[in-house]
Amino acid sequence: MLKRTKVYLRGAYGPGNLGDDVLLLCMLKILKKMFKANEIAVSVNNIKVAKLFDKEVKWIPINSPVFSDIAILGGGGQFFSFKGPKYIKHQKKGALNFLIKKFKEGYTIVDLILGFSLRKIYGIGYKSKKLATFCIGVGPFENGYDSEYNRALKVFKKADFISVRDLKSKMQVTAMCDKTPSQFVDITLNRELWYDGKQDFLKQKSINNKPVIGIVIRDWRLNDSGFQIINELLEFERHNPNYDCVYISFNKKYDKKIINKLDGRRVLIWDPEIYTVNKFIRKLKLCDVVVSSRAHGVLLPTMAYIPTIAVEIEPKLKAVHQMMPLSTKLIQADNLHKLNEMIELCLGYNQDFIKRVDDDLMRNSLIAKDSIVKLEKWLRNAKK
């Protein structure tokens, strides 16, 4: 059956990745002000779990072809490529296994044929009268003018409205085509869209117990340097017995191999079948400091007033720190030996840290809200 809808939302939505799940909830809250829930279609990998967020929204398989009046890419997505990927083991799968897998995910034969045809004709697997990209990241494209670059270029050429979340993305899009995008910030920085505001305080440090350090794990498979960073973070506890470490997964499916290796260690795993977003964020409050190589592993804890250190595994982490420069710290890959020193600085924070978070958020929230105003204006015109 052909999938038709008034508005189609497409991004890096799992569900099951905490950062993307928060972005999804933010985007749905924005769209529901202008559309009924059953007029919104969203591409996801797991329809069953997605229904936990909203039962009325039309959830469809991630690459299933869609025909819509309006399509919106993002609210958190990113076009990028890395050299490699060295650590992905490619498995040869026959056509029959491929079809069985797709049918289990909810695809039909029509979906597969039509999706392939759309990508061949238009370069993307959906068709809409109007197309917007909203607060997305663009780059880096480390392999030059590769397939990911060309896919992004096709999207930008078709887009009627382009907004990006940082300056580097703006410069990248401007260099790629003759369109100058609007620059905003990560939409989650409008905390009103997702955070319930409970327990807005800096954790009281225990005198008798060891400090608790949360390490956001990430199964990085894209390049050598990132792979090495993750290994060093996993070894941090062994070299620093003066801390108690808890390992935090924002994506249990993607991090499965690492989680299996953490047998006997303290772990905290995001699972939308167990937690709401805010319940999970409150669980993070057990940490005195969080160390993260994930972008939203920096943003979300910081917005809950947990001192957080961004590990620059990729350019996005530096961009995240630049969004919240007063309240986050950034450590580069070649300075990981100084992580202990940086953690001690964070452990020394007092109530002034609350003010720094609020100052960062006040500026970013205004920009994020402005991005919503611009998107809503575009949507009103697109609906005509």
Specify whether 176 is located in the same domain as 56.
yes
The two three-digit tokens of residue 186, written as one number: 């990560």
Helix (H, G, I), strand (E, B) or coil at 372: helix
In-domain check, residue 383: no
- Residue that terminates a domain, selected from 155, 183, 211: 183
- State phi, psi for 20 to the nearest 5 degrees: -70, -35
- Mean pLDDT (the chain) is 87
The rounded distance, in Å, linking the Cα atoms of 132 and 171 is 18
Q: What is the mean pLDDT of residues 79-95?
A: 59
- Statement: residue 81 has pLDDT above 70: yes
Length of the chain in terms of residues written? 384
The rounded distance, in Å, linking the Cα atoms of 35 and 180 is 28
In-domain check, residue 140: yes
Q: Which domain holds residue 32?
A: 3-183
**Pick the residue with more confidence: 99 or 191?**
191
Specify whether 220 is located in the same domain as 149.
no
Specify whether 145 is located in the same domain as 215.
no
Does residue 311 contact residue 317 with C-beta atoms inside 8 Å? yes
Does residue 86 contact residue 227 with C-beta atoms inside 8 Å? yes
In-domain check, residue 26: yes
Specify whether 169 is located in the same domain as 256.
no
- Statement: residue 257 has pLDDT above 80: yes
Specify whether 220 is located in the same domain as 325.
yes
Neighbours of 257 (CB within 10 A): 9
The pLDDT score that the predictor gives to residue 87 is 46
The pLDDT score that the predictor gives to residue 91 is 46
Nearest to 308 by CA among 241, 357, 355: 357
The pLDDT score that the predictor gives to residue 3 is 75
- Residue that terminates a domain, selected from 124, 153, 183: 183
The rounded distance, in Å, linking the Cα atoms of 81 and 142 is 6
Specify whether 248 is located in the same domain as 102.
no
Measured between alpha carbons, how far is residue 81 from residues 27, 139, 210, 231 in Å?
25, 7, 40, 22
AA identity, residue 257:
K
- Statement: residue 24 has pLDDT above 50: yes
Q: How many domains does the chain have?
A: 2
Does residue 272 contact residue 53 with C-beta atoms inside 8 Å? yes
133, β-bridge pairs:
73, 162
Give the model's confidence band at 292: pLDDT under 50 very low, under 70 low, under 90 confident, else very high.
very high
Q: What is the mean pLDDT of residues 366-381?
A: 96
CATH number at 54 reads 3.40.50
The pLDDT score that the predictor gives to residue 113 is 66
In-domain check, residue 368: no
Q: What is the mean pLDDT of residues 137-150?
A: 82
- Statement: residue 106 has pLDDT above 70: no
Measured between alpha carbons, how far is residue 234 from residues 69, 217, 248, 274 in Å?
47, 8, 11, 25
Residue 48 burial class via C-beta count within 10 angstroms: exposed 0-12, middle 13-18, buried 19 and up = exposed
Q: Using only C-alpha atoms, what is the Rg of the chain?
A: 21
Question: What dihedral do alpha carbons 132, 138, 141, 147 form, nearest 10°?
Answer: -20
Instruction: State pLDDT tens for residues 42-78.
Output: 988 888 899 999 999 999 887 788 889 999 998 667 8
In-domain check, residue 289: yes
The rounded distance, in Å, linking the Cα atoms of 139 and 171 is 10
**Pick the residue with more confidence: 127 or 282?**
282
In-domain check, residue 88: yes
- Statement: residue 235 has pLDDT above 50: yes
- State phi, psi for 53 to the nearest 5 degrees: -80, -40
Q: What percent of the chain has pLDDT over 90?
A: 64
Specify whether 30 is located in the same domain as 128.
yes
Q: What is the mean pLDDT of residues 325-333?
A: 96
The two three-digit tokens of residue 106, written as one number: 């909810």
The pLDDT score that the predictor gives to residue 105 is 62
The pLDDT score that the predictor gives to residue 15 is 82
Instruction: State pLDDT tens for residues 162-187.
Output: 999 999 999 999 999 989 999 999 99
